[in-house]
Amino acid sequence: MVGLRGVGKTVLLDRIRDDAESAGIQTLRVEAPERRSLPAILAPELRQALLRLSQNEKARELARRALRGLAGFVGALKVKYDDIEVGLDLSPEPGLADNGDLERDLQALLEVVGQAAAQVNTAFALFVDEMQYVEESQLAALISSLHRTAQRQLPVVLVGAGLPQLPGRMGSAKSYAERLFDFPEIGPLSDEDAAVALVNPARDEGVEFEPEALTKIIEATQGYPYFLQEWGKHSWAAANSSPITAEDVETASLTAIAALDESFFRVRFDRLTPSEKKYLRGMSQLGPGPHRSGDIANEIDRGVQSVAPTRSKLISKGMVWSPSHGDTAFTVPLFDEFMRRIMPGDDWRE
């Protein structure tokens, strides 16, 4: 069981899933958005995965039993989690995953799912993106259920991806999560790898980059994979011929930043309250970070304790994280620059 965190997590999650499916592993892929319950996002995908598994004659009986368990699971939890919407063809099996307690029912459900997968010598893999948005009690139920399947040596695994606060949240949900999962951190690409990511696709199309152009893109993007894609796309569009030059990259930087401001950054900014915007704007005055909580509080002329609730809300929204006690850092590179662009001057201090 692995928990991924950091830059490029979603792309890597999808690649791991593709490899798993190529190996014949049954997979389930969900994203955990804010304000959606874990049962609601799992139930429809579990149904599809179990229907696929039921097509195997050896696993049919156990897969259909798991589907009956899923029917009981949904029926028992629908009152508490009213966002569950899934059509089920089989009637519930009395006593199977139908207690109405998420932790106990999810354990029972994943056990029978694991038994069905074991019947045909395969595994069942849950791929969950944006795990930092799963509520703690629901996260605890998921961790406990995977712990149970591991104890019973059933082939059920989780590959989760989330922002840097994910390991801390999982540890808070269940103290033994650190022993149950690996947490590899996916950081920015090295300069060498970033250059390869730009050069090889372009070279396949007969286009080269000047060395100075590569240097400018790598410096601008800080090795963040998504930003590399944006700068590469806009540099390609700006160039009239090969090789792509440093001047092309300068032109592309204007359009790349504008595109990110209107989409990637703006989506995050629009989720903020006025007090949260002020906190992040003050934080941006100090640079990329990480920064001491006291320094941020001083920047916005507030006491550390008075802004602690705002900081906590920003962490829960995935805007910032705490790399060490008392430190705060942006979860997205270049967000400090965006905050200074969108809230220029000093009016934000009022």
What contacts 267, CB < 8 A, 6 or more positions away? none
What is the DSSP-derived secondary structure letter of residue 135?
-
The pLDDT assigned to 13 comes to: 81
Segment 38-68, tens digit of pLDDT: 999 999 999 999 999 999 999 899 999 999 9
Per DSSP, the three-state class of 154 is coil
Single-letter amino acid code for the residue at 278 = K
CA torsion 74-77-79-83 (nearest 10°) is -60
The C-alpha atoms of residue 253 and residue 74 are separated, in whole angstroms, by 49
Mean pLDDT by 10 residues, the chain (350 residues): 53 85 90 86 92 90 94 91 83 92 95 94 92 92 96 94 86 91 86 95 95 96 91 95 96 96 94 96 94 95 94 91 90 93 92
The C-alpha atoms of residue 345 and residue 348 are separated, in whole angstroms, by 8
The pLDDT assigned to 8 comes to: 61
Q: Go through the domains of the chain in sequence order and give each one's CATH number.
A: 2-186 (3.40.50), 191-268 (1.10.8), 272-349 (1.10.10.10)
pTM of the model: 0.79
DSSP string across 293-344: HHHHHHHTT--HHHHHHHHHHHHHTTSEE-SSTTEEEESSTTHHHHHHHHS-
Q: What angle do CA 257, 261, 264 make, to 5 degrees?
A: 105
Say if residues 244 and 214 touch (Cβ distance below 8 Å). Answer: no
Nearest to 105 by CA among 60, 144, 151, 136: 144
Say whether the peptide bond before residue 184 is cis (omega within 30 degrees of 0).
no
The pLDDT assigned to 89 comes to: 76
Residue 28, strand partner residues: 126
77's enclosing H/E stretch is: helix 60-77
CA torsion 165-166-168-170 (nearest 10°) is 160
CA torsion 188-193-194-199 (nearest 10°) is -160
The C-alpha atoms of residue 65 and residue 22 are separated, in whole angstroms, by 26
Segment 226-242, tens digit of pLDDT: 899 999 999 999 999 99
